[in-house]
Amino acid sequence: MRIQAKHSSDVTFCKVLPENIKGRDFIVGDIHGCLDLLLAKLQAVGFDEQKDRLFSVGDLIDRGPQSIECLGLLRKPWFYACLANHEAMMLCYYGAYSSYYHSPQDFIRNGGQWSFEQQGDDLGGNLFDLLELVAQLPVAYHVQGALPFNVCHANIIDYSDEKLKEYDGKKIARASADDIVWSRDVIYATKNPVEAQLGDRVALIDSTEPMRDGLSLTYAGHTPVKKCVLTKSHLHIDMGAYQLVTKGNGDFDLCIVENAATQSAIKAALETI
């Protein structure tokens, strides 16, 4: 079955959101169809759906066993996801996206077989409805407040906070978003990493340029890491959750962090480098 999404010519570049004055902001790495693991993580941190928000770096689908259920999260008012490369491949396959990075069949080759068998989520929504929600996802968020932060899938190294604000709600050609959802240039350029404690996790911090002037802490995924990596303001938090869920490999996990605590830990760590 082919689905034609209505929003096919462009994508929202950035959404600017106000500070969460009622609760906490959490950010989660690539979920990849591991909804049960995510829900267990949220329960463990005492996530309050009435007050807290959860930001996703994208890659909700593929590889894990609950892809369409993860797409169902897009219906939740507390859930904010970025467009990522696996969602882009799905949109391409169903005729709603064009890219020089991949062909339509890459969606199937990279775990999209689930779409042949599941056409609805637990709330009765079908894949067409959910695809429409995916097509409207921004490629980045900028969250204002005392501890501002950004969220994207791969990197937004070419942008500052001020530039992101200028793009609030503005559309760009979908193909122009490819680097933001695909590029690994930032994490691969990490230099002289040193270990530091960030909450209950040990992270690797680029001692040459841990933070980029003008760009607030930016949570990113896309490249699986066994330890979170901070470089050029980007904190990479994809820890390969599907490897834990589908293969029982305990070297991998689903990383979920709380922004205020993470920024405090980074500030303390940078004082020692």
- Averages of pLDDT over runs of 10 residues in the chain (273 residues) are 54 96 98 98 98 98 96 96 95 80 88 80 68 93 98 97 97 82 96 93 96 98 97 98 97 98 97 89
Closest CA to 239 of 257, 249, 227: 227
Check: CB of residue 149 under 8 Å from CB of residue 218.
yes
Predicted pLDDT at 121:
54
pLDDT at 118: 62
Please tell me the predicted confidence (pLDDT) of residue 13. 95
CA 223 to chain centre: 11
CA gap 216, 161 in Å, rounded: 7
Check: CB of residue 143 under 8 Å from CB of residue 49.
no
Q: What is the pLDDT of residue 7?
A: 46
What confidence score (pLDDT) does residue 260 get? 98
Q: At 57, list the tokens.
A: 């770096």
pLDDT of the residue at 9: 60
